[in-house]
Amino acid sequence: MDLDKLLEKSEGCIYDEPPACTSCCPVHMDIISFVSEMEKGEFDKAYKIMEKRVPFARIIGSICDHPCEEVCVRSDLGGAVKISELEKAAVSYGFSPPKKTIPIPKKKGRVAVIGGGISGMTAAFDLDKKGYEVTMYDKSNRLGGKLRSYVGRGLKKEVLEEELQALVKLGINVVLNTPVDKKRLEQLTGEYDAVYLGTGVWEEELPIHPQTFQVEDTSVFAGGKLANRNGSVILSASSGKRAATSIDRYIKRISMYASREREGSFETPLRYETDGIKPVRAVKKTSDIYNEDEAAREAGRCLKCRCRKCIEACSHLSGFDISPKSYMRQINQSERIILGTHYANKMINSCTMCGLCEEECFKGISMKDVIQETRESMVERGKMPVSAHDFALKDMKFSNSKRFSMVRKQPEGIKGPCQFTEKTEYLFYPGCQLPASYPEYIEGIYKYLVSNMKGGVGIYLGCCGAPADWAGRQDLMQESVEKIKKTWEDMGRPVFILACSSCCGIFEKYLPEITFVSLWKVFAQNGLPQNKKTSGNYVLSVHDACATRHNKEIHDSIRKIAALSGYTIQELKYSREKTKCCGYGGLVYYANSEQSEDFVKHRIEESDNDLLVYCAMCKDLLVDGGKRTFHILDLIFGDDLEGIALRKMPTLSDRHRNRAQLKVRLLREIWGEQPDMGLEKQSDYKITIPENVIRLMEDRYILMEDIEKVIDNAQKRSKRFFNPSEASYLARLRIDNVTYWVKYEEKGEGILVKSVYSHRMEIVEE
């Protein structure tokens, strides 16, 4: 896995990007944190946040020209948040004198700061903090410069004096009544390691670098009005700060440019969707500055812009409360672990790989692709937890075994619209889970296809390989692809008729040479086989299948079939290309059942309407979550819709049996064959399984056939334990990579199972 590419991709996620106000602020005040504290009435904390980034926060907080408000996302929704008014309130209600700090030894060098205005003050303050011996020069008899013009216009005289006093107290040398001109400047450059010029006006035009504030390649740096050419207080302060950084780098002889891309105002890549946000007008002041209550209310208008679109839409990202950015970083770490625990494994196997995040993302970042690549890498490195996908992969193996898989041409017995031909124009491929959940519909569909399609229609039972794809098992995936390709060639390259959305996804991804048509399109085009039209005014909401989120033809076909069946469709918020996963995708159903249940729960909460789905697993999971749900085939073929709406999914064992029996039934009834009875092997014992044990079997992924094998082995070879006090037996058998244990009693002729469990660990009996 290319981890550099992954990290590059993670940089594209805008979750962590600053809001427009902060990126526009020349000193990048953390405005979201500031207003959050203001909103809570924690004015002292709010002031502290302001102080972190804003130099002389008490001064600037009182008179800042607030460029931040111009870019506020609230602007069109009741007006920009009054950030500068909130700062004034924070200064009034939250200021406390700073704690005394131990002065740093001034060993790094000597710097002269010319001009005692806000840019000079800021440069001097920062350089002092960085360990330089600073001397300030001012032509007048006091510091403050133009700041004095704000006294009485927002700035209190005592605040200015106190802040200047504090500056002097740091140990900065102050030389007053000393004008500096070009000639004097030359002398000063000889006396000091660097000079900062913040005089507002100068005798000549200076070539000041816009990023470093350096004057050509000299030791002179200039900021404030000389650099900015306007009277902005905050820009002046920012230039003083940035020039101080440059002076430090200049004296230390390190790069003047490295890692400074985001100094000063910049345009944030953050985007924030305002759809559905109601306008709220700014809170009016009842006096000079906001009172505490007004300030808190005004702060409450802040949208706290942050891109959480994918997280809000996805049960997985919200469940782990993680942004794609940190997700990718965690994957990066996990991929680099050589010895130690891979803590991210569970998370990586809890993504349904449905692709909704990419649909939501302004930047088109697809976690589905990232997870796919990660799982494949885990498999390649032997780091994929076996238990996560083992059952699903075994189920796939079952579907592709002779117990279910088969290929047949259209038999001569049934006639389609054309005369019977040897040529198979179409091959109906119902997939694996539809026959597992709804074996009763398959025969009806096949007969419908034969009588509606021009040309012979064959049938092909099997699994497309989606579980292997989800599990990152490219070895099994390729095997599956080759098998399907070979069948397609052998049958004379027919058009596949697909009923399962996952199959459609797999065919698009791995078998582009095979033309397929959705069964739903066939129904929508050719009309429905039976007249099952509902008479009532029945409203349904479509839960589209995530594997075909981009297949508009399927979306439209489903809606058309619903209309033909007399239903009205009310669209969900997340539908069509923005549909949500039911929780089965990515094999999450097996790897993290709680996560899967969350997907179901969140989807159900979206609407009170009954749902209409066209994927067998969607129906089974939604019904399991208690939602009345119809499969599109229920509308076409179903008899007792009331019963069907909440019909529980068959157990894992029934899903096997349904498939095996379907094959036998089709062979007998349509092809007139007498299939090998081995396909439907019955146990030699009459085994009874009570309801509580059936529940255990489902939770522990134990099949009836596993239990039969354990009991058969135990009974025939007496390899079992016996508990005389309750007359029960306990037997075990290792099947493949799992040891199954069955506790049972012999009841007359039959066997009553008391409990079942399993483990993967191998016991070496010697």
Binding site for other proteins (CB under 8 A): 340-343, 345, 385-388, 700, 717-726, 729-730, 732, 739, 741, 743, 755, 757-766
* Minimum distance from residue 718 beta carbon to other proteins (Å): 4
Residue among 652, 656, 597 at smallest CA distance from 627? 597
Cβ proximity to other proteins, 538 vs 757, nearer residue:
757
Q: For the purposes of burial, counting CB atoms within 10 Å of the CB of 401, is it exposed (0-12), middle (13-18) or buried (19 or more)? A: middle
State the Cα torsion 583-585-591-593 to the nearest 10°. Answer: 10
For residue 578, which of 313, 183, 188 has the smallest C-alpha distance? 313
Residue closer to other proteins, measured from CB, 267 or 726: 726
**Residue spans of beta strands (DSSP E) within 226-327:** none
C-beta of 385 vs 455, nearer to other proteins: 385
Cβ 731 to other proteins shortest distance, Å: 9
Nearest residue (CB) to other proteins, 651 versus 758: 758
Least Cβ distance, residue 732 to other proteins (angstroms): 7
Are 662 and 435 in contact, with CB atoms under 8 Å apart? yes
Q: Which lies closer to other proteins via its Cβ, residue 40 or residue 717?
A: 717
8 A C-beta contact, residue 252 and residue 224: no
Least CB distance from residue 5 to other proteins, whole Å? 25
Residue closer to other proteins (CB basis): 226 or 738: 738
Of 393 and 546, the one with the shorter C-beta distance to other proteins is 393
Q: Which is nearer to other proteins, 183 or 716 (CB)?
A: 716
Q: How many Cβ atoms are within 10 Å of 217's Cβ, its own excluded? A: 9
For residues 151-185, one letter each, b for 16 or more C-beta atoms within 10 angstroms of the residue's C-beta and e for the rest, the string is beeebbeebbeebbeebeeeebebeeeeebeeeeb
Shortest separation between residue 711's beta carbon and other proteins, angstroms: 13
Which residue, 422 or 765, is less far from other proteins as judged by CB?
765
In whole angstroms, the minimum distance from the beta carbon of 333 to other proteins comes to: 14
| 613: β partners | 631
Full DSSP string of 517-548: EEHHHHHHHH--SS-----S-EEEEE---GGG
Nearer to other proteins, 563 or 727 (CB): 727
By beta-carbon proximity to other proteins, the closer residue of 121 and 689 is 689
Angle subtended by helix axes 292-299 and 31-39, to nearest 10: 130
What does the alpha-carbon distance between residue 586 and residue 740 come to, in Å, rounded to a whole number?
26
How near is the Cβ of 375 to other proteins at its closest, in Å?
A: 14
Nearer to other proteins, 391 or 520 (CB): 391
Nearer to other proteins, 320 or 729 (CB): 729
Minimum gap (Å) between residue 759 Cβ and other proteins: 4
Name the amino acid, one letter, at 763.
I
Cα gap 689→745, rounded to integer Å: 11
What are the structure tokens assigned to 398, written together? Answer: 């079952």
42 contacts 251 by C-beta, under 8 angstroms = no
Hey, is 605 helix, strand or coil?
coil
Computed from CA positions of residues 399, 400, 404, 410, in that sequence, does the dihedral angle turn out positive or negative? positive
Minimum CB separation from other proteins for residue 717, in Å? 8
Intra-chain end-to-end CA distance of the chain, in Å: 42
CB of 385 to other proteins, least distance (A): 4
Whichever of 538 and 741 has its CB closer to other proteins, that residue is 741
Residue 499: CB minimum distance to other proteins, A: 35
DSSP per position, 133-150:
EEEEE-SSSSS-GGGGGG
Q: How far is the CB of 367 from other proteins (least distance, A)?
A: 21
Q: How far is CA 434 from CA 120, 124, 500, 623, in A?
A: 75, 75, 7, 15
CB of 762 to other proteins, least distance (A): 5
Q: Are strands 538-542 and 567-569 parallel, antiparallel or unpaired?
A: parallel
Q: Give the integer Cα–Cα distance in Å for 271 and 17.
A: 9
Alpha helices in 511-631 (DSSP H): 519-526, 552-564, 588-591, 593-604, 616-624
Do 67 and 265 form a contact (C-beta atoms < 8 A)? yes
User: Taking a C-beta distance cutoff of 8 angstroms, is the pair 321, 438 a contact?
Assistant: no
Query: Helices in 425-470 by DSSP H: which ranges?
Result: 433-437, 439-452, 466-470
Q: How far is the CB of 344 from other proteins (least distance, A)?
A: 9
CB of 600 to other proteins, least distance (A): 24
Measured from the CB atom, is 438 or 589 closer to other proteins? Answer: 589
CB of 364 to other proteins, least distance (A): 32
Which residue matches tokens 């900065």? 172
Supply the minimum distance, in Å, between the C-beta of residue 629 and other proteins: 32
Crossing angle of helices 652-669 and 439-452, rounded to 10°? 40
Other CB atoms within 10 A of residue 471 CB = 26
Long-range contacts of 533-539 (CB under 8 A, 24+ apart): 533/564, 533/565, 533/566, 534/565, 534/566, 534/567, 534/641, 535/566, 537/568, 538/566, 538/567, 538/568, 538/610, 539/567, 539/568, 539/569, 539/570, 539/609, 539/610
Rg (CA), the chain: 37
The CA distance from 518 to 504, in Å, is: 8
In angstroms, the CA 21 to CA 455 distance is 66
Q: How far is the CB of 338 from other proteins (least distance, A)?
A: 11
